[in-house]
Amino acid sequence: MAEDPKGHFWTTDRIMKLIIGLATSVALIALIRYLSDVLLPFFAACFIAYLLQPLVDLNRRLTRSKGLAIPSILTILDVTVLIGAIIYLFTPAVIRELDTLGDIIHSVTSGQRNLPPEYTAIVDFIGRYFNPDNLKAMLDGTHLETVLNKGTSIIEESLDFVLSILMWLLTLIYVLFILIDYPAIVRGFKMIIPHRFRKPAINVVHQVEVSMNHYFRGQGKVALCAAVFYCTGFSIIGLPLAIPMGILVGVLYMIPYFQYITLIPIAAICFIYSLGGEAMFLPEMGKCLLVYAVSQGICDYIITPHVMGREMGLNPAMILLALTVWGSLLGIIGMIIALPATTLIFTYYTRYISEPAPREGTPAENDDE
């Protein structure tokens, strides 16, 4: 056996435990990948239930209920009504704006409008990948008619549709039961840990929970504010599809720097809108960039420091790397568990490897007690 400068011994027992641990991790990843279709609703439900937990606590205080069944049902109803109201209020306007953009594209591609030669390739690209008719079909139900008219593939399409509905219903059921039994589930996970490892493991999990609360719930509040600012800004400048694009920016705000990806569809919308002759591309795009600058400045320098403090707790570069690596390993499930798993690994490494506990008899032994 060999001894390192710090006095730790790499014994055969330690090496075998390391090999067994790595083999177990690889087998677990392979098993999750194999069962990903079955496990995805459960993992998604756990993530949704975690995000909705503060709303459950609020409903519990408002109803003064001792149990969690009524607050959990009210939470799901609140979220469902909110999403339904947003769809009901804004879908007609979105369809009208998609009609307008679609008419502009049709008039250009059919030759009714003359364009400079250098615009031809751009128009063909936009017409192929940003055709509003495809989006409009999904919103007004014509896509369903197209599916029903396929004839030979109706059974396959119907089964896919039914399975998708069942998956969402299963996720909803998971969310409800997880919300109702949330405290018991948390206690159950703690009891799984062997007694002699329970205290240090719970300390690590507590640090992970604090970091996750700091990021997910704090960043969720910032993303909600960002969505409001972007929706308002895009509506003020008269951008078509202002509400959907503002909501999209807010959702992507949960991942650092991903909100800037929306500059591509924003530029495409501005270009299509300018083809109609009602606006010029550069001034329209400039107004959109002004909305980005103002909204981003308010979120970064006013809201984020107030909501999340000066330190986010998670480095943005590490967040992107974690999402990429875990997403490659486990797909959507990996992206859901990426940040908790990465934080758990870093916390364990910092607490027990890079800063190992002092030996017995040292004064620092009882610092955490």
* pLDDT one-digit tens code per residue, 255-298: 777 888 889 889 888 888 887 777 788 888 999 999 999 998 89
**Cα–Cα dist 13/3, whole Å:** 14
Give pLDDT, residue 365: 43
pTM: 0.65
Q: At what angle do helices 69-109 and 132-140 cross, to 10 degrees?
A: 140
Structure letter (DSSP) for residue 363: G
| DSSP code per residue over 258-324 | GGGGGHHHHHHHHHHHHHTTSS-HHHHHHHHHHHHHHHHHHIIIIIHHHHH-S--SS-HHHHHHHHH
Q: Which residues are 214's β-sheet partners?
A: none
Backbone φ, ψ for residue 149 (5° rounding):
-85, 0
Q: At what angle do helices 281-298 and 263-275 cross, to 10 degrees?
A: 150
- Which two tokens mark 264? 């591509």
Give pLDDT, residue 22: 82
- Which two tokens mark 66? 């001792």
Burial class (CB in 10 A: 0-12, 13-18, 19+), 330: buried
Q: Residue 367 CA to chain centroid, in angstroms?
A: 38
Which amino acid would we find at residue 280? M
Digitized pLDDT (tens) for each residue of the chain, 369 residues in all: 444 454 455 677 777 877 887 888 788 888 878 877 778 888 888 888 888 888 888 888 888 888 888 888 899 999 989 888 988 888 888 888 888 888 877 777 676 766 656 566 666 666 666 666 665 565 555 444 454 454 445 455 555 656 667 777 778 888 888 888 877 777 777 777 777 777 777 777 777 777 777 777 777 888 889 999 999 999 999 888 899 999 999 888 887 778 888 898 898 888 888 877 777 888 889 999 999 999 988 988 888 777 765 445 566 677 778 878 888 877 777 777 777 777 777 777 776 666 555 544 444 444 444
- Digit-coded pLDDT (tens) for 296-325: 889 888 887 777 654 455 666 777 788 788
Give pLDDT, residue 143: 47
Helices (H) and strands (E) in the chain, counts: 15, 2
**Cα–Cα dist 228/246, whole Å:** 7
Give pLDDT, residue 147: 43
Structure letter (DSSP) for residue 3: E
Q: Which residues are 3's β-sheet partners?
A: 9
36 φ/ψ sector (left φ>0, alpha ψ -120 to 50, else beta): alpha
